[in-house]
Structure 1
Amino acid sequence: MSDTADNRDQVSEGGSKTPNFLINEKSPYLLQHAYNPVQWYPWGEKAFERSRAENKPIFLSIGYSTCHWCHVMEKESFEDPDVARLMNATFICIKVDREERPDIDSVYMAICQAITGRGGWPLTILMTPNKEPFFAATYIPKKSRFGNPGMLDLIPHIAKVWTQQQEDILQTARELKAALSPQMVQASAKSTGTEINEKTLHSGYSQLLSAFDWQAGGFGRAPKFPSPHNLTFLLRYWQRTGKLEALQMVTKTLDGMRGGGIYDHVGFGFHRYSTDGQWLVPHFEKMLYDQAMLIMAYTEGFQVTGIEDHRQVAAEIIEYVLRDMCSAEGAFYCAEDADSEGMEGKFYLWKKEEIYDLLPLEVANLVCKVYDISSEGNYKEEISGISTRQNILHLARPMQEAAQELGISLDELKAKLEPARKILFAAREKRVHPSKDDKVLTDWNGLMIAALCKASRAFERPEYAQAASRTADFILQHMSSHDGRLLHRYRDGEASISGFLEDYAFLVWGLIELYQATFEKKYLEHALRLNSLQIRDFMDVEGGFFHTANDSETLLFRNKDLYDGAMPSGNSVSVLNLLKLSRLTGDTDLEEKASTSMKAFSGQIDAMPMAYSQFLHALDFTAGPAYEVVIAGDPDDPNTREMISLAGRSFLPNMVLLLQGKNNIGELAPYTKDMSATDRNATVYICQGYSCSMPIMSIGSFREFISSISDKWHATD
């Protein structure tokens, strides 16, 4: 790049069309800021060298391309010549895409939360040239208001203090780093050194029960997040105990989300979260990881309850993802923005007259009644609270109740609504679409692979597993370095950024599920290979996995994330991966490593188990009973296929499945070598606790076995 960006400290009144140092980046978020008059640098040594040379503090801004308030701060401040002039004169300014560099984001977000008690994006950090922060905030307005300093007042104050009291700031930053670093490293020092057990599952359930919203579903108050791993844990807890409330919490939440405005009733898929407690008004961005986790929750909900609506929602999410979020090569994009044409949600909102312009009168009346569309609208402007006359489509009442009120069957109602939905969808497609973050992330794609495979088995839809195979093949071919280690991000023909813990953990999860959906040996081989690399490069000898590899860039500290937030943590997923790979292959050393990690985190888990609901999946697995099921037979034989299908349709989260008779799986799982089809008939071998029972040679007997497990689920009811 030329040196033109170095000459942009003085910004013209109308801004500048000269690009800054972000112009050659691949991240859509960074490229959004490439023509800001702020002289942005990407994270890198060049920025820190200039900071030291010019004795300027760093202004670090972290966000992502579909972040609404990131857009607001950009428009207010980063595109404003007056603010930009102050920033360029006072700071060296660095932009970071949190999705590209979750390592940087996790460190500085933890510091922001420790300093301010809150977090979010955009994340604003002021720090020394040595990367030591002395100020943290999220969104900062251009002008001061309500007692909070704005950029026009804050920057001159920082400039004055930096000039007159620099040594005091540097000393404060050093002390802050020294005080916070031990708190941020979630290491075994917090461990009780003991094994957590089934009592922790009961505690986690009790905490979720106390936080549950029985009116609308979900946990806590507004804003309300889907938290699908809470739901999948509760399904496992219901399976274990038969407690009806656990299942009711799941179905209430799945139904509430599906009926609310958080669900896109026209084009499918879920928005990020609900700003209210009723699932009505969403934050309109759509994230790939939310789609993946919710596919899993609705799939497992269907397996447990048989409720057709759960299956339909999972299938609709998949339709959305394959239609709108999938590259030609089969990899999945990150997200779609909340905003279009400068307004959040504009793409998704409807005025009543639009419905009547597009649909026949009788059909329009039906759509408005079912989806609560009115002339005054149900969507209010975010800040003023004034009605926009716009409507968010949502189910004012369950569709079954709407059908009863109309005096028709549920199937008749759906048959009337579906053609109308397609008309609305076609009309909406002509609108200006929200921007799409089209980078490919290994970890989020790993989640989608796992989700597609679970749905493929549960719904007997092999095309879902085929789509997952394309994704896995793309990542394994295009997102690995020459030494076989994973890369984090792919975009515009380039893969870059060394993989993080979640890249390995989530992709291994996806590959485990992909093997059990396709029985292609290569996927289990890759899962084992990548798991070995993860152990080598990320594992702490005291237990658990660091977020970054041993040879990664040194930040303020090297942390071990455990909290299961919007996504499950890499550590939670890794423990269950270790357990399942151990059972699939018979390698007890992997199970020992899982045990070490569980001990390392036992203190944190016991203190607040509901915050680690994905980790509780692994604890549920260890509490047992868990099964290794080996089906020996010709995969083209109808009986073999029916046994495989029976295992896939059933909700058996603590079972791993292998097929002996294809691709010589005994090379990876030596204990299966002597398991063969009896008299050329498909045969099932069931192992538990490192011993195997007598083989089962009929579909009926296998079905009885699954029923017998089901009986045990409710033994403590």
Structure 2
Amino acid sequence: MNGMKQKPNRLINEKSPYLLQHAYNPVDWYPWGDEAFEVAIRENKPIFLSIGYSTCHWCHVMAHESFEDEKVARLINEVFVPIKVDREERPDIDNIYMTVCQAMTGHGGWPLTIIMTPDKKPFFAGTYISKHSRYGRKGLVDLINEIRMLWENEHDEIIDSAEKITYTIQKFLKESPGDEMGEDTLYTAYIQLESMFDMQYGGFGTAPKFPTPHNLYFLLRFYRRFNKNEALDMVLKTLDSMSLGGIFDHIGFGFHRYSTDRRWLLPHFEKMLYDQALIAMAYTEAYQITGSEKYKEMAEKIFEYVMRDMMSEEGAFYSAEDADSEGEEGKFYTWSVDEVMDILGEEEGKLAVKLFNFKKEGNFRDEATGERTGFNIVNFSKDIEKLAEDLKINDIKEKLKNIREKLYNAREKRERPHRDDKILTDWNGLMIASLSKAAAALGNKKYAEAAKKAADFILDSFGENGRLMHRYRKGEWKVIANVDDYSFLIFGLLELYGASFEEKYLKYALKLNEELIDYFWDEKNGGFYFTSKDEEEILIRTKEVYDGAVPSGNSVALLNLLRIGRITGNSKYDDFAAKLQRAFSKSVMDTPMGYTQMLVGLDFSLGPSLEIVIAGKRNSEDTLNMIKVLQRRFIPNAVLLLNPAGEENPEIHSIAEYTRLQKSIDGRATAYVCRNFACSEPATTVEEMLNKL
């Protein structure tokens, strides 16, 4: 996204794809760092902080309109010290100032625009700002001129306002511990989700509609605990509708960010790694609980996309793909009827048009203009089996496969959307977890191998840096890891142990969990801060708990602590988990449906939870069969360990001391099923084992 200026600014030395997109802007951008703030102090200028990410549509729009415009850039450079931040590279900065924006304006989003004093205290916040004023909204040019006058003529008042805003934010973010939560909190969340559920199209609320997979994880556990069929129905309706709509890329696979309409047809076309990981987990769990092949197939399609298009040479996973190509959102993904007919020919073309609900005038209305565009989004009105019945086609899956492959090959000749190729530890942790869970539940070893490769790449960075890091790109690890990096990677490693039974991943999970406690734990009030105790403090050390597009680090950490407590038999982790729950219980109990990943942990803590140890030879048929039977089932509140028979001093004994006594009987695979460390008689057959569950 090069502007008029040929000479690069300071961003040219950065590795972030987003910052590099702005390296040729005529705006004299600084990266976040001491240099920018020292200049602001020396020249007595306010800071113009712009936060976005490389696949953000409206970030591109504001860049083209304003940051590539010589006149606007000259104004910005005269009045401010401008700083660009990639929110994905520096989520710590983004979290603070997004909270500021939401408190000051009642909403948030990207690009995020913050104007602040040289000591980082904000006095203006907004999101996308058009170049010129219109429809009663102040444009960037008028805003800059107004701030110039205020900074020169009412400087003391601005400084005072910034101080008051900062004090209010700091006070707002401090939260004292509350009471313990119980089953009533789970029920309240269920009732709130039920009231928001869209019975016709699935999902929650109207438009825009987000997948929010942790809502589905919670509902599956609620169904299991209370035998509430309606909870399961909500999950399956949502997953079924999402799999038919345009939010899923039926040609290249993978899910787009969200649907702009309530029926999942017209997506915001961006694809994020975390969405693929979280949604695939929801389909995997739906497969475990129902045994329906369609959910297995959807998880497999997501992984096919990720492993084909989002995997780096190192074996880790890239961050995102843009919504835009050739300057238009969704151009890569949409089709005209004439184009499809040309590619497929008469017979297949007519079938495709019918199956995909294509229309000559287009099957969706442009979000901005409300007019039909002549282009179409691939979607289905019914699942394939029902379509086959309606159209009386016996081999519909084979026909559809041929159509898809031809359209895919044709689409690959188009200009692809930009791919953000940085590697983030937190999002990779989620993908490692998702691949590992699917490797176990779907019985697919290649997923476990992919998860291992990504995990090993990240864990190897310890040797270079001595600490877990947040971002990697082109040979460089940068930014000390935050709570999400730790929590999500620990989650991934626990799942990877459960898929591979390689103890090194369990040992790394325990090591990282100790670091998480040492560097992030709030000794006074409980819970984990977002940033490490030895990292830069901007306005305040925040603690994130809301489960939004991505679950919070604290919510994931809760489940990690509980599982590690069950694995190790060490009650200290249960104590941390109890304090963590109480740290946030006031917020959670106020609106439980906003914290459904936290409630997944609460469900585990309320029990009954299971510790299952299989004692047997690591690769013997009876051992593998017992493990497979367990992994195919939906048993979310269980930890599964392997005590490998015939190995001298296996590492699991040093991790989980109690497994020393749980031995193979007569050389046969033997299952020990324990509830809160009270174990039933050992079982040497699958039938006996299942009876004890």
Q: TM-score range by the shorter chain?
A: over 0.9
Contact between 1:233 and 1:614, CA under 8 Å: does it hold in 2? yes
Residue of structure 2 in register with 1:697 after alignment? 684
Mapped to 2, the partners of 1:554 and 1:479 lie a distance apart of 24
After TM superposition, the structure 1 = structure 2 runs for residues 19-38 of structure 1, keeping only pairs within 5 Å, are 19-38=8-27
SS in 2 for 1:36: coil
Query: Is the alpha carbon distance of 1:501 and 1:433 closer, same or farther for their aligned partners in structure 2, counting shifts above 3 Å?
Result: same
Mapped to 2, the partners of 1:52 and 1:654 lie a distance apart of 54
Mapped to 2, the partners of 1:223 and 1:468 lie a distance apart of 32
Are 1:197 and 2:182 matched, yes or no? yes
Residue of structure 2 in register with 1:487 after alignment? 469
Runs of 4+ aligned structure 1 residues displaced above 6 Å come to: none
Are 1:225 and 2:214 matched, yes or no? no
**Aligned equivalent of 2:196, options 198, 211, 215:** 211
Mapped to 1, the partners of 2:69 and 2:216 lie a distance apart of 45
Could you tell me which runs of 5 or more consecutive residues in structure 1 were left unpaired when the two chains were aligned: 1-13, 707-717
Could you tell me which runs of 5 or more consecutive residues in structure 2 were left unpaired when the two chains were aligned: none
**Aligned equivalent of 2:256, options 271, 275, 279:** 271
Are 1:354 and 2:339 matched, yes or no? yes
Larger CA deviation: 304-313 vs 86-95? 304-313
Contact between 2:432 and 2:454, CA under 8 Å: does it hold in 1? yes
Amino acid across the alignment from 1:339: D
Mapped to 1, the partners of 2:222 and 2:152 lie a distance apart of 59
Identity rate, percent: 53
Contact between 1:373 and 1:393, CA under 8 Å: does it hold in 2? yes
Residue of structure 2 in register with 1:506 after alignment? 488
Larger CA deviation: 642-651 vs 662-671? 662-671
SS in 1 for 2:54: coil
Mapped to 1, the partners of 2:572 and 2:192 lie a distance apart of 33
Larger CA deviation: 153-162 vs 437-446? 153-162
SS in 2 for 1:401: helix
Mapped to 2, the partners of 1:660 and 1:397 lie a distance apart of 47
SS in 1 for 2:55: coil
Mapped to 1, the partners of 2:301 and 2:691 lie a distance apart of 33
Residue of structure 2 in register with 1:285 after alignment? 270
Displacement after TM superposition at 1:510 (Å): 0.3
Residue of structure 2 in register with 1:715 after alignment? none
SS in 2 for 1:23: helix
Question: CA offsets per residue over residues 529-568 of structure 1, 9 Å max, x none?
Answer: 0000000000011210000010110110111000000000
Mapped to 1, the partners of 2:518 and 2:307 lie a distance apart of 35
Amino acid across the alignment from 1:437: D
SS in 1 for 2:12: coil
Residue of structure 1 in register with 2:557 after alignment? 574
Displacement after TM superposition at 1:374 (Å): 1.2
Residue of structure 2 in register with 1:310 after alignment? 295
SS in 2 for 1:555: coil
After TM superposition, the structure 1 = structure 2 runs for residues 75-94 of structure 1, keeping only pairs within 5 Å, are 75-94=64-83
SS in 1 for 2:161: helix
Are 1:241 and 2:241 matched, yes or no? no
Mapped to 1, the partners of 2:195 and 2:315 lie a distance apart of 42
Mapped to 2, the partners of 1:304 and 1:100 lie a distance apart of 37
Residue of structure 1 in register with 2:669 after alignment? 682
Amino acid across the alignment from 2:673: I
Larger CA deviation: 56-65 vs 659-668? 659-668
**Aligned equivalent of 2:150, options 136, 161, 170:** 161
Residue of structure 2 in register with 1:449 after alignment? 432
Contact between 1:632 and 1:675, CA under 8 Å: does it hold in 2? yes
Residue of structure 1 in register with 2:582 after alignment? 599
Residue of structure 2 in register with 1:647 after alignment? 630
Are 1:301 and 2:290 matched, yes or no? no
Residue of structure 1 in register with 2:655 after alignment? 668
Residue of structure 2 in register with 1:533 after alignment? 515
Residue of structure 2 in register with 1:7 after alignment? none
Are 1:397 and 2:397 matched, yes or no? no
Are 1:628 and 2:625 matched, yes or no? no
Query: Is the alpha carbon distance of 1:703 and 1:440 closer, same or farther for their aligned partners in structure 2, counting shifts above 3 Å?
Result: same
SS in 2 for 1:615: helix
Displacement after TM superposition at 1:481 (Å): 5.2
Displacement after TM superposition at 1:52 (Å): 0.8
Displacement after TM superposition at 1:30 (Å): 0.2
Question: CA offsets per residue over residues 236-292 of structure 1, 9 Å max, x none?
Answer: 100111111101100110011111100000000000000111101000000000000
Mapped to 2, the partners of 1:83 and 1:367 lie a distance apart of 48
The Cα RMSD (Å) is: 1.1
Aligned residues: 686
SS in 1 for 2:113: strand
Query: Is the alpha carbon distance of 1:480 and 1:573 closer, same or farther for their aligned partners in structure 2, counting shifts above 3 Å?
Result: farther
Displacement after TM superposition at 1:154 (Å): 1.1
Are 1:520 and 2:491 matched, yes or no? no
Displacement after TM superposition at 1:400 (Å): 2.7
SS in 1 for 2:279: helix
Amino acid across the alignment from 1:321: V
SS in 2 for 1:558: coil
Q: TM-score, normalised by structure 1?
A: 0.95
Larger CA deviation: 394-403 vs 666-675? 394-403
Residue of structure 2 in register with 1:8 after alignment? none
Displacement after TM superposition at 1:480 (Å): 6.1
Displacement after TM superposition at 1:401 (Å): 2.4
Question: CA offsets per residue over residues 15-59 of structure 1, 9 Å max, x none?
Answer: 321111100000000000000000000000100011111111000
Residue of structure 2 in register with 1:345 after alignment? 330
Mapped to 1, the partners of 2:42 and 2:66 lie a distance apart of 26
